[in-house]
Structure 1
Amino acid sequence: MSDEEYYRSLGIDPTPRPPAPLDAEQLQEAKELDAYWTPERLRNARPLDDPEGAPLGDTHGMGSALRAASHEVAGGFDNVGVFVVTRAGGKEDRFCTASVVDSPSMNLVISAAHCLSDTDRFENFGFVPKYNDSANPKPYGIFRAEKNRVYLDGRYIKLGSSKADDLDFAFVRVQRNEKNQVLTTAVGGGNRLKFVGPGDFDQKNAHLIGYPGGSKKPRDCTATTKKFNDRFVQIDCDGYTPGTSGSPFLANWDGKRGDVFGVIGGYKTGGPTADTSYSSQFDGDINRLYVQAVNDYEPDKASSLGGGDTWKHAKAITSGTFYDPADYAAPARATALRGTEVRRTGSQDMIVLWDDGELSLYEGDGAFGFEKDRKLTGPNGTWKNAKAITAGDFTGGAQYDLMVLWVDGEVSLYKDVDYDSGSINNVQEITLQQPNALWKHATALATGAFGGNKWPDDVVVTWDDGEATLYWDTDAAGFHTEKKLADPGSVWKYARAITAGDFGGADNNDLMVRWTDGELTVYKDLGISGLGAENKVLAANALWRDHAKVISAGNFGGNSWPDDLMVRWSDGELTMYGDSSASQLGKELMLVPPA
């Protein structure tokens, strides 16, 4: 595949767009940075990933029969080098391994997130490609990191290296060097980013290249990688001591270029010993960061969802498109959200009902995360009487409406809820059912596209006697055609939570059910004809029986359909299972840590 075809496959404009030439002031700054990093400073810099100052160069038994031996490479490699920084008021010179990544922007470097998560304390921050042991340790000079252009996943920023260890990768955009040269032009090209799918963990003849502390020579090792803990790439190579964090895993390496499919990081920030190293899986998460970096978008910020003590009180969650699509045509709005491109894939938001009656709207960021909440109403006695909520497009216009079931049997519809609408009191309320004895017995609601028209306006209702009902083509005039899915007295009296999504990959939505014994079931392609095929996602289990309190599905990242399952646990933890299917849960991401 040509570079142009490759970039287009990622939805990136392949037109080269190198960084602008440095003006006189910037050029002077670049020269000062180059002057700061003397050969002596570079030689004495300590690893960023070694804050305790372990002995440098400790290779822990190189040459074990169980592991591949690494060897020093005098002179280094053109597109592998080191990030160098000064910390603590100029008293600590530090480094981590990094490498050049091919891109239309021609200025991207990749390393580990745990090396770059403290950039607000960095000074003299630059990249030295082909750092080596010759009389000229900076053959290509030094490329200053662009201000505010370090790309880490927002969940990693929020949760840290332990709880977000599967997101331990980062990109940095760099300026031209002190000779006004563009990075990839100067070094002769970077490595192409390679994604790791389910069958790609085992890579034969993979190279691992990195700079151990205390050495001016990179180490190179060739070995076969494998899967570890279902989400990390593992390589067994001797001698990768502190300093090698960020070292690229390279496939199809010809000595000058290859495909980078990992960087040392992830599990225990790369591994507890120097003889086995790990990388977080390069999947859709790194693809999103790569697109951000290439297009010079604003980097992620830390999630502001709060902690488990708060989320213990989340009573119900629903998802939908809670914004006016027309807003996203406005440049100011697009810039503020940073996610205009992501939004076009259909990324959704969530509304949370709290047990004190507060109602909050969280805008999705398209990457399994959310922005700070917008209060639709503060704690109040009225909304404490809301029994269940669901969202769908009941009134047309592609903007979602909020449906509320109240304890007295009333059912209300709030039309076109918008992130910018302010209070829920500013939203038009439509009464679908006056308070009544029948709907007092409804226990849960779930909305999807289950038949009839193509819109998500079909509502599944469970009742306390075990009946389950489908109402399709619901609108502002009320509930219309009714289909009984289960008779009173059926096993559905053991259904404790329901949500709708597209877990089976067809046009119709599916219904997910969490049962009282902890079993998790998906009914594929539920519709006018009935429940559809039953698929067991989880067998009965104590964890989900006792601790999974609220479930909700939507499209929050990854692919473009609503198959991301959110679970609020009894300890306040909020978990996302991204890109789940009708047979198994997807990749687990912690959005809120437990209390």
Structure 2
Amino acid sequence: MTLRSLHHRIRRAAVVAASVTVCLPAAVGPAHADAGPGTGTARSTAPAAPTGRTGTPDPGWTDADAIRFWTPARMASATDPARPSVPRGQGTTPPKSTLRGSGSAAGITVEHFPGVKSVGVLFSYKEEPTTGELRAHSCTASVVDSPGHNLILTAAHCGGGHHSVFVPNYDNSKTLAAQHYGFFRVDKWFTDPRYDRPNTKDRTSDLDFSFAALADSSKGAKVQNAVGGANRLVRTPSFNDNVTMVGYPKKAHDSADRAVRCPTQTWALPHLYQIQAVCHGMYGGTSGGPWFSKVDWAKGTGDIIGNVGGYNGGGNDANVDWLTYSPVHGDQFFRLYDDAKKNRAVKRPDPYVQPPLPYSMGGGRTWQHAALMASGDFKGKGRSDMIVVWSDGEVTLYDSDGNGGFDSERRLLAANSAWTKARTITAGDFTGSNKFDLMVRWADGEVTLYGDVGSRGLDWAGTQMIKPNKTWTNATQIAAGRFAATKYVTDLMVRWADGEVTLYTGVGAGTFGKEHQLEKPNGTWKNATLLTAGEYSGHQKWDLMVRWTDGELDNYVGTTTSGLGTERRILNPNKLWTHDTVMTTGDFTSNHRTDDLVIRWSDGETTMYPDTRADHLGPEHNLVPRA
């Protein structure tokens, strides 16, 4: 079996037996649920261990008791339930190749900020599951809407403790009694009993969410009223979302001891019903923190679609810290939420059965073998799909969902030796059928056109555009577009090895149409590494995009048979974009314009820049994580 075929099968493997423990390979990220040293001070009068995961943890315990118990020293010494005292990889630098754009998802490092009033710190006193030692710990929690105006959301591995208090918009300079919005004792926990706390790497980590009902403050205030509102809980809409994570890293991990936030993007976590995101600095204490899909910072509330938790307690267990996880907020989440809103005992006699796992395009190791890519409306459905030729000759058609992602794939050809000789490809409607065709230039100079690939596939001879020849072995890049044509994508741009640039108009099955020389052989265009074309300027006619050897990215607006258009600089020369290995443009979003740029990077990460314009990239959207 070839390497590509092996990866192809691996990423489809779904574990369906609820009893199987899934251990993901270590990658990058903090150990959100590793065993850590006890930092709380155990006393002979400490409470007994919890008797259950739903119920009143501290009968008769008062606000005055809480103030006496939660001294500044104890709050400062608390740790995330099972994190190392010093997060491994705290001094490391996150990979710049992970999120590359200048759009909303480009931030990969937390920023400190004053916090929001609906998010705060959860302090508890809890028995350590392996040693029985009692430890003080803290996590992050958020106020969520409820009929009783008294619910918070956190992670399941944070719940179930004694002497628990929630401090909204926590201020480390103030004592418990002096907090701006006060504090609220936990009156009752709501945690799915199927969540297996000691086994944070099995599939029950999908259930790492918990609710707590809070008692009124000593002044009779309910938490939702005290902070002026609550967050709305929304189903995780997809596995590729824009989110802002919010949390409170502990002082031992982050000396600022303040709230942090991080705008980033999510993608599916293979083998588990969870999502993951990149952000450096989501250290111990952020467990349970909300993932906002949108938030009003002035009002201090928003829509929550995830929470820090899940696999390994919400973070990876290798030696760096930039991956964070969240369970999907789906049926099981809202079932528990309903129990909490109705103050109903949580009963789950049925074993946890994992929902159908999300479609995933695979990981960076697989996509490092994506040799060639081309985009077009291969099925005649009014939007683009994407064809990938792999290094072992396999060819795959990825079906777009119309919202900047892909939801399925179809193998057009199994791994074979013939297609390992494909050197460059492009797609256009050369046959005028309203379905795109694939053009291939082979290693021996032959050029072949495969009409209506979406319906006919590739398992046929195709139409020979030109026999094997020495001239076309020098056609370094080809890119189809609509530079002169008014309806169909029937023009072909060719950059030759000597720097000449040629435009062929009226290309059809068996003919290259009419040739127009746009650039004579020259040294400058020898450095044009990649070409693609699209409707970046918003006109019916397309523009030519060029990535140069030094990482510069330019767009040529108004390119016609008379010459290249006006050069519009997108990126100045830079080292990062020298790692742009494969490039294609399609119509993958709802604006019905071929302006969504897809890049496969040297580390296998694959990203989309939807709605790219003539002089700037669209916001970055991660499709495949780095290797």
TM normalised by structure 2 equals 0.53
The 1:402/1:132 distance shift into structure 2, 3 A limit, reads: farther
Pairs within 5 Å for 1:281-320? 302-320=358-376
Cα distance between partner residues in 1 of 2:589 and 2:306 = 23
Q: Any idea what the Cα deviations from partners look like across 1:215-244, whole Å, max 9, x if unmatched?
A: xxxxxxxxxxx9977999xxxxxxx99767
2:535 corresponding residue in structure 1 = 502
Corresponding letter in the other structure for 1:152: P
Contact 1:394 1:476 (C-alpha < 8 Å) held by counterparts? yes
- Unaligned runs of 5+ residues in structure 2 are 1-51, 60-123, 125-150, 198-202, 225-231, 248-259, 266-276, 278-284, 316-354
Structure 2 counterpart of 1:51? 157
How far has the Cα of 1:150 moved from its partner? 3.6
Q: Structure 1 residue 245 and structure 2 residue 245: aligned?
A: no
The equivalent residue for 1:570 is: 602
Q: Deviations over 1:517-556 (max 9, x none)?
A: 11111111222232111011111122222x2211111122
**Are positions 1:167 and 2:243 aligned together?**
yes
Deviation sequence 1:189-238 (CA, Å, 0-9, x none): xxxxxxxxxxxxxxxxxxx9x9xxxxxxxxxxxxxxx9977999xxxxxx
Do the aligned residues in 2 keep the contact of 1:401 with 1:414 (CA within 8 Å)? yes
SS of match in other structure, 1:309 = helix
SS of the residue corresponding to residue 506 of structure 2 reads: coil
Q: Distance in 1 between matches of 2:410 and 2:216?
A: 52
Structure with larger Rg = 2
Name the structure 1 match of 2:130. none
1:127–1:364 CA distance, 2 compared to 1 (3 A): farther
The amino acid of 1:354's aligned partner reads W
Q: Deviations over 1:25-66 (max 9, x none)?
A: xxxxxxxxxxx99985999988433634596425642788xx
In 1, the alpha carbon distance for the partners of 2:609 and 2:568 equals 17
SS of residue in 2 equivalent to 1:323: coil
1:424 aligned residue (416, 434, 458)? 458
Question: Which residue is 1:87 aligned to?
Answer: 192
Q: Which amino acid aligns with 2:495?
A: T
TM-fit CA distance, 1:265 = 7.1
CA distance in 2, matches of 1:48, 1:267: 8
2:171 alignment partner in structure 1:
61
Q: In 1, are the aligned partners of 2:288 and 2:308 still within 8 Å (CA)?
A: no
The superposition leaves residues 453-472 of structure 1 with CA deviations (integer Å, 9 ceiling, x where unpaired) of 22211110010111001111
1:544 to 559, 565, 577: 577
* 1:153 correspondence with 2:238: yes
Q: Match for 2:511 among 450, 468, 478?
A: 478
Partner secondary structure for residue 318 of structure 1: strand
Whole-Å separation in 2 of the counterparts to 1:474 and 1:503:
22
Per-residue deviation, residues 409-448 of structure 1 (Å, max 9, x unmatched): 2111111111x65x5115x711221222221211111011
Q: Distance in 1 between matches of 2:366 and 2:236?
A: 29
Shift of the alpha carbon at 1:364? 0.9
Aligned to 1:373: 409
Question: 1:312 deviation in Å?
Answer: 1.3
Letter in structure 2 aligned against 1:533: T
Mapping 1:226-237, distance limit 5 Å: none
Q: Is the 8 A contact 1:519 1:541 kept in 2?
A: yes
- Equivalent residue letter for 1:480: G
Deviations 1:386-427 (A, max 9, x none): 111100111122111011111222111111111x65x5115x
| Residues 578/71 of structure 1: CA separation in 2 closer, same or farther (3 Å cut) | same
How many Å separate the matches in 2 of 1:519 and 1:137?
A: 53
Alignment-mate amino acid for residue 238 of structure 2 = D
Determine the structure 1 residue equivalent to 2:42. Answer: none
Name the CA distance, whole Å, in 2 between partners of 1:524 and 1:475: 25
Give the corresponding residue for 1:23. none
- Judging changes above 3 Å, is the alpha-carbon distance between structure 1 residues 435 and 228 closer, same or farther for their aligned structure 2 residues? same
From 433, 445, 448, the equivalent of 1:409 is: 445
User: Of 390, 397, 400, which residue of structure 2 is paired with 1:361?
Assistant: 397
Displacement of 1:310? 1.6
Cα separation, 1, equivalents of 2:239 and 2:289: 24
Q: Structure 2 CA distance, aligned partners of 1:381 and 1:242?
A: 49
> Would the aligned equivalents of 1:460 and 1:468 in 2 still touch at CA under 8 Å?
yes
TM-score of the superposed pair, with normalisation by structure 1 = 0.55
Query: More helix per residue: 1 or 2?
Result: 1
Structure 1 residues 338-357: aligned runs within 5 Å: 346-357=382-393
C-alpha separation in 2, matches of 1:564 and 1:430: 29
Question: What are structure 1's unaligned runs of at least 5 residues?
Answer: 1-35, 75-83, 93-116, 139-144, 157-165, 170-207, 211-225, 233-239, 254-258, 273-298, 326-345
The aligned amino acid for 1:566 is: V
The aligned amino acid for 2:237 is L
Q: How far is the alpha carbon of 1:590 from its aligned partner?
A: 2.3
User: What is the CA distance between 1:367 and its match in structure 2?
Assistant: 2.5
Say if 2:563 is the partner of 1:530.
yes
Q: Report 1:195-206 matches (<5 A).
A: none
Distance 1:485 1:70 in 2: 68
The SS at the match of 1:305 is coil
Question: Residue 511 of structure 1 corresponds to which residue in structure 2?
Answer: 544
CA contact (8 A) 1:168 1:265 kept: no
Using a 3 Å threshold, how does the CA distance of structure 1 residues 444 and 121 change in structure 2: closer, same or farther?
Answer: same
Matched-pair contact (CA < 8 Å) for 2:191–2:211: no
Aligned equivalents of 1:591, 1:532: Cα separation in 2: 31
Q: Label 1:302 to 1:241 Cα distance change in 2 as closer, same or farther (>3 A).
A: closer
How far residue 152 of structure 1 moved from its aligned partner, in angstroms, is 2.9
Distance 1:127 1:413, change over 3 A: farther
Q: For residue 593 of structure 1, what is the amino acid of its counterpart?
A: P
1:483 deviation in Å? 1.4
Summarize the Cα distance change of 1:40–1:398 in structure 2 as closer, same or farther, 3 Å threshold. farther
User: CA offset at residue 155 of structure 1?
Assistant: 2.6
Q: Following the alignment from structure 1 to structure 2, what is the Cα–Cα distance between the partners of residues 550 and 241?
A: 37
Task: Identify the residue that residue 465 of structure 1 maps to in structure 2.
Answer: 498
Q: Within the alignment, does 1:71 sit opposite 2:172 as a pair?
A: no
Distance 1:477 1:241, change over 3 A: closer
CA distance in 1, matches of 2:423, 2:501: 17
For residues 256-300 of structure 1, give each alpha carbon's deviation from its aligned partner in whole angstroms, at most 9, with x where no partner exists. xxx97655979999x99xxxxxxxxxxxxxxxxxxxxxxxxxx99
**Aligned letter for 1:589?**
H
Structure 1 pair 352/90, CA: closer, same or farther in 2 (3 Å)?
closer
Contact 2:401/2:407 (CA < 8 Å) preserved in 1?
yes
Q: Secondary structure at the match of 2:425?
A: strand
Shift of residue 315, structure 1, vs aligned partner: 1.2
**SS in structure 2 of the partner of residue 57 of structure 1:** strand
Amino acid at match of 1:154: F
Percent identity over the alignment?
36
Q: Which has the higher contact order (CA 8 A, sep 6+)?
A: 2
Q: How many corresponding residue pairs?
A: 395
Partner residue of 2:281?
none
Partner SS state of residue 434, structure 2: coil
Cα distance in 2 between the residues matched to 1:507 and 1:131: 62
Counterpart of 2:577 in structure 1: which amino acid?
W
